[in-house]
Amino acid sequence: MKKLEFLLADESATVTMGNHIAQALLHHNKPLSQQAFVAYLNGDLGAGKTTLTRGVVRGLGHQGNVKSPTYTLVEPYELSPYRVYHFDLYRLADPEELEFMGIRDYFNGQCVCFIEWPEKGNGLLASADVIINMAYQDEQRVITLHACTELGESVLAKLAS
């Protein structure tokens, strides 16, 4: 399974999609062991990247608010079994900032990373298991998920089942 596409009718459909991704991560046939799962989120402002991530973070067990890490660059969630890191690199001025924050350490071990505006971290991010594109379709949104690794493919297969 290399590519999946869905039409998301409204905000709640986007949150539900995020929850489905979370369930696929929790239940696909290759549990993350020491491996990080990395998703890049592409799409214009307002396309729904943060809304989708909110669904993922809640689906992985977080019960509180999910705020956009626009100024902090990353918001960590210490969940079980997976730690989750939500990055928003929109305001990143210099990729070196990522070096200063020890970006590589975020991609070690059993964690799930969702990264908005990954192109701003060009060259310093772990490569993506899944690349997610979100686009406006009138008042709705279209989400396209591309698997880039075997892990990504197995998560997409679970998502499709």
Q: Nearest Cα to 160, choosing from 24, 12, 13, 8?
A: 24
With CB under 5 to 8 Å by kind, the binding choice for 139 among ligand ADP, Mg ion, none is ligand ADP
Q: Of the ranges 41-49, 57-65, 75-83, 107-115, which one interacts with ligand ADP (CB under 6 A)?
A: 41-49
In this structure, are residues 121 and 147 in contact, taking their beta carbons and an 8 Å threshold? Answer: no
Min separation Cβ 117 and Mg ion, Å: 8
Check binding of 13 to ligand ADP (CB under 6 A): yes
**3-state SS, one letter per residue, for 42-79:** ECCCCCCHHHHHHHHHHHCCCCCCCCCCCCCCEEEEEC
φ, ψ at 144 (rounded to 5°): -125, 130
Min separation Cβ 47 and Mg ion, Å: 8
Check binding of 50 to Mg ion (CB under 5 A): yes
Check binding of 51 to Mg ion (CB under 5 A): no
Place of tokens 């075997």: 150
Min separation Cβ 35 and ligand ADP, Å: 26
The number of residues that bind ligand ADP (CB under 6 A) is: 17
Check binding of 8 to ligand ADP (CB under 6 A): yes
Min separation Cβ 33 and Mg ion, Å: 30
Q: Nearest Cα to 132, choosing from 28, 33, 37, 31?
A: 37
Check binding of 14 to ligand ADP (CB under 6 A): yes
Q: Of the ranges 40-48, 105-113, 122-130, 153-161, which one interacts with ligand ADP (CB under 6 A)?
A: 40-48
* CB burial readout 43-66, b (16+ within 10 A) else e: beeebbbbbbbbbbbbbbebeeeb
Q: Using CB under 6 A, list all residues that contact ligand ADP.
A: 8, 10-11, 13-14, 43, 45-51, 116, 139-141
